[in-house]
Amino acid sequence: MNKQTKKTSAATTLWLLTVLFGLFSLSSLAAENNSQSKDKSKNESWQVWRQDAELKVSYRTSQYNDLLEIKAQAQVASSLAGFMYFLEDLALLPVWLDNAESAKIINQITANENIFITRFKGLWPVSAREMVVHSHYWQNDNLSVEIAVKDASDSIIATKNTIRMQVLKAHWLVVPTKNSQIAISYQFIVDPKGNIPQWLTKPMTLNGIWTTLNNIREQLPNSPWQQKSRADIQEWQ
């Protein structure tokens, strides 16, 4: 693997973003709504948890019994290339991704398709966790970037004394709204596995998501990666 490969391709964006909001998942979050049926949950309205002029975090009951689906949205000052390079900078990961410990590529399939593992620190009474994901991104004719993410837990043996989470659904849409501005929308359902106290899951998950979004909003516009372009991404003109 050459130096550029080790640094990771743009597909790192997909994986890190998956982990970004899937930190502890939302299994216990849905306890307040679990009296609704699976069929009804598919049409459940989004409930806004918190928002400001640029960030918004919402959730709703999913079709997976006691799991919630989360939608995170952000308006950020950044180019598409700058956004991707920022997320590929693995050394910077713990600075903006809440509770993250490390991340690395397991298998680079193509330039825009990879398998990643990311590990999160434990915080009593929650054990250390990790997530393995297959991610694939592409750019549409309207310049939006979509990121398809699926679970890849069978790609590597679970780390000892660490709980392996499972991705049930995850999809990204990143849209350039004008020059050096992007709109990010991410929807996901992640099963954290293991036993997490209900009273701890909801505030830890939602606050972690908000903290990470806010970190990106503050750090991304000033990142040196904003000065870089990339051949596989066309910017808003």
pTM surpassing 0.85?
A: no
Q: Which helix (H) or strand (E) holds 48?
A: strand 47-51
Per-residue model confidence (pLDDT) at position 121: 87
Does some domain include residue 233? no
Of 27-31, 43-47, 96-100, least confident by mean pLDDT is 27-31
Q: For the segment 118-150, what is each residue's pLDDT rounded down to a tens digit?
A: 888 887 667 899 999 999 999 999 999 998 999
Query: Who contacts 34 (Cβ-Cβ below 8 Å, separation ≥6)?
Result: 61, 65, 66
Q: What is the dihedral of CA 69, 217, 74, 129, to 10 degrees?
A: -10
Does some domain include residue 46? yes
Does some domain include residue 133? yes
Q: Is the per-residue pLDDT at 49 higher than 70?
A: yes
Q: Is the per-residue pLDDT at 211 higher than 70?
A: yes
When pLDDT is cut at 50, 70 and 90, the band that residue 113 belongs to is very high
Q: How far apart, in Å, are the Cα atoms of 216 and each of 25, 55, 93, 195, 211? A: 20, 11, 11, 30, 9
Of residues 230 and 14, the one with the higher pLDDT is 230
Does some domain include residue 8? yes
Range of the domain at 25: 3-227
Does some domain include residue 112? yes
Distance in Å from the first CA to the final CA of the chain:
35
Q: For the segment 54-110, what is each residue's pLDDT rounded down to a tens digit?
A: 999 998 888 876 778 889 999 999 999 998 888 778 778 888 888 889 888 899 999
Does some domain include residue 232? no
Query: Who contacts 130 (Cβ-Cβ below 8 Å, separation ≥6)?
Result: 117, 118, 119, 120, 158, 159, 162, 163, 164, 165
Domain CATH number, residue 99: 3.30.530.20
Query: Who contacts 194 (Cβ-Cβ below 8 Å, separation ≥6)?
Result: 127, 129, 163
Per-residue model confidence (pLDDT) at position 42: 54
Task: Of 142, 136, 110, 124, give the one whose Cα is nearest residue 18.
Answer: 136
Q: What is the mean pLDDT of residues 157-174?
A: 92
Q: How far apart are CA 41 and CA 33, in angstroms?
A: 9
Question: Which residues are 170's β-sheet partners?
Answer: 188
Whole-number percent of the chain with pLDDT over 90: 44
Query: Who contacts 75 (Cβ-Cβ below 8 Å, separation ≥6)?
Result: 53, 54, 55, 177, 181, 182, 183, 184
Into how many domains does the chain fold?
1
Query: What is the average pLDDT value for the chain, to the nearest integer?
Result: 81
